Amino acid sequence: MRATAVIERWSIARPFTTARGTKRTADVVVATITDGTFEGRGECVPYPRYGDDPTHVAAYINDFRGPFERQALLDAMPAGPARNAIDCALWDLEAKRSGKPVWHLAGVAEPTDTVTAFTVSLDHPAAMAKQADTHRRRPLLKVKLGSDDIATDIDRLRAVRTHAPPTRLIVDANEGWTLDALRQFIPAAVDCGVELIEQPLPASADSELEGFRPPIPLAADESIRDGANLATVATRYQTVNIKLDKAGGLTRALAMATEARQLGLDIMVGCMVATSLSMAPALLLARCARFVDLDGPELLAADRQPGLEYNAGHVSFTAGVWG
């Protein structure tokens, strides 16, 4: 077998801003594994938060010489985007060789039409109100917050709620707050009906959440990678956001979901900004997740074709995307 990788750059429809900065393009690495007859593909997003770089990830995959077996891969490579792309390519390859869909091979339920969050990018309150008004008919919005001015973050949230009154809301602070800011934010979040607050504190400050019992569940994102620290995370959070680029592939992500549920944690399935080739493997986790956030392709100026089907805040599989 042989693995190759290419870097692709996809334009984002409008500047995508979080507490960490603004993105205008999505740089992805696509791995292809061939056995000479069939080939499988997997896509990953190198994430600077963890020191990843597209050039290095692509070179790592191009130099990869095995093992070409998913369980052995877990021991041979560290978690991260390169392993994710290779793992997903191996799943895709097996599906094509066997003629069976990946969900069947993985022993999970067939993916169905699923509600996905749509992200309201961080901006000043009036601009976020405009975004919310545009997407007010979607079933679930994810509101990006996390500035160092908690009063303005509260104004942002209230602006979104006012302009999207029937929509369910979750919030993502991207490590942008202190515990004191979180405490100030929670009453407004309760008033606005927020259902989840994602990664409010920096991962390095997680210990401050020990014994904190908020009225709204907290989700670990940057604080959870391949799940090695799940038992500790379960003492600080109520939900874990599983992203394949952090977990290092679908194989590990499926095991993480099982381990998290055994610890009493709810599951969120998340993504980076990327194409449907990244989202399709993650969609296999949707049936066990309380929250699904796989809107990456909707944030792009255009998705790859064929792609997943996105319609009014729902996402579903279409033939030929992956697996």
Q: What percent of the chain has pLDDT over 90?
A: 96
Q: What is the mean pLDDT of residues 226-255?
A: 97
Q: For strand 194-198 and strand 218-220, is the pairing parallel, antiparallel, or unpaired?
A: parallel
Q: What is the mean pLDDT of residues 71-95?
A: 97
Q: What percent of the chain has pLDDT over 70?
A: 100
72, burial (CB in 10 Å: exposed 0-12, middle 13-18, buried 19+): exposed
Confidence of residue 271 (pLDDT cuts 50, 70, 90): very high
What's the CA dihedral at 58, 106, 92, 282 to 10 degrees?
A: -60
| pLDDT mean across residues, the chain | 97
- Which of 100, 130, 144, 246 does the annotation list as catalytic? 144
pTM score: 0.96
Confidence of residue 246 (pLDDT cuts 50, 70, 90): very high
206 token code pair: 């997680």
3-state secondary structure of 273: coil
**How many whole angstroms separate alpha carbon 199 and alpha carbon 49?**
14
pLDDT in tens, 301-323: 999 999 999 999 999 999 899 99
**How many whole angstroms separate alpha carbon 8 and alpha carbon 213?**
43
pLDDT in tens, 152-194: 999 999 999 999 999 999 999 999 999 999 999 999 999 999 9
Q: Is the pLDDT of residue 15 over 90?
A: no
63, burial (CB in 10 Å: exposed 0-12, middle 13-18, buried 19+): exposed
pLDDT in tens, 37-70: 999 999 999 988 888 999 999 999 999 999 999 9
- Which of 23, 96, 130, 243 does the annotation list as catalytic? 243
Residue 144 known to be catalytic: yes
Q: What is the mean pLDDT of residues 269-286?
A: 97
- In 10 A of CB 309, how many CB atoms? 13
Q: What is the mean pLDDT of residues 10-16?
A: 94
Confidence of residue 11 (pLDDT cuts 50, 70, 90): very high
In 3-state terms the chain splits into helix, strand, coil percentages (rounded to 5) of 40, 25, 40
3-state secondary structure of 194: strand
List the beta bridge partners of residue 17. Answer: 22
| CA-closest candidate to residue 169, choices 195, 144, 145, 197 | 195
83, burial (CB in 10 Å: exposed 0-12, middle 13-18, buried 19+): buried
| CA-closest candidate to residue 20, choices 128, 131, 144 | 144
Contacts of 71 (CB under 8 A, 6+ apart): 251
